[in-house]
Amino acid sequence: MTDVLYLAWRYVLFHRYKTSILVLSITLIAYLPIGLEVLVSQSAEELTARAASTPLLIGARGSALELVLNSLYFESASPTPMRYEQVERVAESGQASPIPLHARFRARGVPIVGTTLDYFDFRRLRVDSGRQMAVLGECVLGARAADELGAGPGGSVVSSPENVFDLAGVYPLKMRVAGVLAPTGGPDDGAVFVDLKTAWVIEGLGHGHQNLASPAASAAVLERDGNRIVANASVVEYTEIDASNLESFHFHGDRAGYPVTAVIAVPHDDKAAVILQGRYQSNDEPCQSVRPRRVMDDLLSTIFRVRGYVVAAVVLVGLSTLATAALVFLLSLRLRQREIRTIVKIGGSRRRVAAVLASEVVIVLLFSLALAGGLTLLTGWLGSAAMRAFIVSS
């Protein structure tokens, strides 16, 4: 047997270019459908893992997909905001604990997410360096956001104006970095987290300004009536919150009307989830409740349909490739007639010749399958991280 294998091996090695092409072709044909299946399954798992860990999302009526993508991945356009009273409504329902989100602003392209400390417990995020944000104007950075912004504990991050031509719009706010979160491999790594109240300050709903009763502000005062002071727009507003001016920061208007982009509702149990969802079914209801897992499953079912077509196409191509390989082999047999006659003349039986030829095919197939298997394993190991990076960066 060893002599058969030796001859087959020497033949394969001698015709290395032909062998390489054959091995590559068969490897691709074997790997493509399997690798695609592994990659798509892992992508689906990545996309659905975060959605599956988020029980319910409440948002303004509109695109459920946009709500989910903005709230889970902090991507896509900011959805229509809803009033903060919806957060209180969830809390007062007694069915779930609300975690508000305000994901409208950015700092040099990095999303700024306004939320409460409950979000960090919910997502199991922990501070890796520095500390958790404690006062208005502080932020904590995701691991990747810290690298992108080049900031760390003690540093600062400035919010970007939404529109450089909108002079009466949102002012940039310089925020102190209190800490950096440990990496999780998820979208939270790429975000700047602030207290919801800080997000409202960025939005202009809260501000701090010089003391209107002080002489320095006299130029800004329009009218004094007892304890009531009316000032004009020249009053100096602070663009950074620090210990010296924190006390001056305040909010105007009713907090119930302040904006949030979504509420993560964490139901106390399954029954509570159903009851809470039911409250948003009415057509008159300004808000909607969505199960992120269901929204992502709908999105993925479209992707899976496309995958099916791709796999079918690959199988067809594979069949034609195999047919071409068989043709190559048969043609090479014709070219090797002299060689075969020589083997027979020097004593090799017909069975031996067939064994040599079959061994050559087996060696090529084995190499191809080994390579395809290796590529599939590599896809399994690295595909997950690659897909995560792709999802997060897209």
Partner 1 sequence: MRSHLPGALLIVGAIMTACSPEPATPKASGEDDGKLSVYVVNYPLLYFAERIGGDAVGVEFPLPADIDPAFWEPSPESIVPFQQADVILLNGAGYARWVEKVSLPETKLVDTSKSFATRFLQVEDAVKHSHGPQGEHSHAGTAFTTWLDPTLALEQAGAVRTALVNLRPQHEAAFAKGFTALERDLLDLDKRLQATVARDPKKPLVGSHPVYQYLARRYGLNLRSVHWEPDSAPDEKMWKELQKLLESHPAKWMLWEGPPLGETIDKLERLGVRSTVFAPCGNVPEKGDFLSVLRNNARNLEAVFAEEGSY
Residue numbers at the binding site for partner 1 (CB under 8 A): 97-98, 116-118, 121, 131-136, 138, 178, 195, 197, 213, 227, 243, 246-247, 249, 251
Tokens of 232: 């004009």
Pick between residue 157 and residue 387 the one whose CB is nearest to partner 1. 157
Report the nearest approach of partner 1 to the CB of residue 313 (Å).
Answer: 52
Going 311 to 313 to 319 to 320, the CA torsion angle's sign is negative
Pick between residue 250 and residue 351 the one whose CB is nearest to partner 1. 250
Q: How far apart are CA 324 and CA 119, in angstroms?
A: 58
Pick between residue 251 and residue 381 the one whose CB is nearest to partner 1. 251
Cβ-based neighbours of 224, under 8 Å, separated by 6 or more: 230
SS (H, E, C) 210-245: CCCCCHHHHHHEEEEECCEEEECCCCCECCECCCCC
Pick between residue 140 and residue 145 the one whose CB is nearest to partner 1. 140
Residue 31 has phi, psi (to 5 degrees) of -80, -40
Report the nearest approach of partner 1 to the CB of residue 179 (Å).
Answer: 11
Pick between residue 195 and residue 203 the one whose CB is nearest to partner 1. 195
Pick between residue 216 and residue 370 the one whose CB is nearest to partner 1. 216
Q: Are the beta carbons of 111 and 191 closer than 8 angstroms?
A: yes
Report the nearest approach of partner 1 to the CB of residue 54 (Å).
Answer: 17
DSSP string, 29-69: HHHHHHHHHHHHHHHHHHHHHHHHT--EEEEESS-HHHHHH
Give CB contacts under 8 A, 24+ apart, made by 119-126.
Answer: 119/193, 119/264, 120/193, 122/264, 122/266, 123/53, 123/184, 123/188, 124/184, 125/181, 125/182, 125/184, 125/188, 126/181, 126/182
Cβ-based neighbours of 193, under 8 Å, separated by 6 or more: 112, 113, 115, 119, 120, 133, 139, 140, 141, 142, 181
Q: Are the beta carbons of 76 and 269 closer than 8 angstroms?
A: no
Report the nearest approach of partner 1 to the CB of residue 133 (Å).
Answer: 5
Report the nearest approach of partner 1 to the CB of residue 325 (Å).
Answer: 59
Cβ-based neighbours of 294, under 8 Å, separated by 6 or more: none
Q: How far apart are CA 178 and CA 131, in angstroms?
A: 6
Pick between residue 116 and residue 321 the one whose CB is nearest to partner 1. 116
Report the nearest approach of partner 1 to the CB of residue 266 (Å).
Answer: 9
Tokens of 234: 């020249």
Report the nearest approach of partner 1 to the CB of residue 246 (Å).
Answer: 6
Report the nearest approach of partner 1 to the CB of residue 121 (Å).
Answer: 7
Pick between residue 31 and residue 249 the one whose CB is nearest to partner 1. 249
Pick between residue 131 and residue 271 the one whose CB is nearest to partner 1. 131
Report the nearest approach of partner 1 to the CB of residue 147 (Å).
Answer: 24
Pick between residue 1 and residue 243 the one whose CB is nearest to partner 1. 243
Report the nearest approach of partner 1 to the CB of residue 150 (Å).
Answer: 22
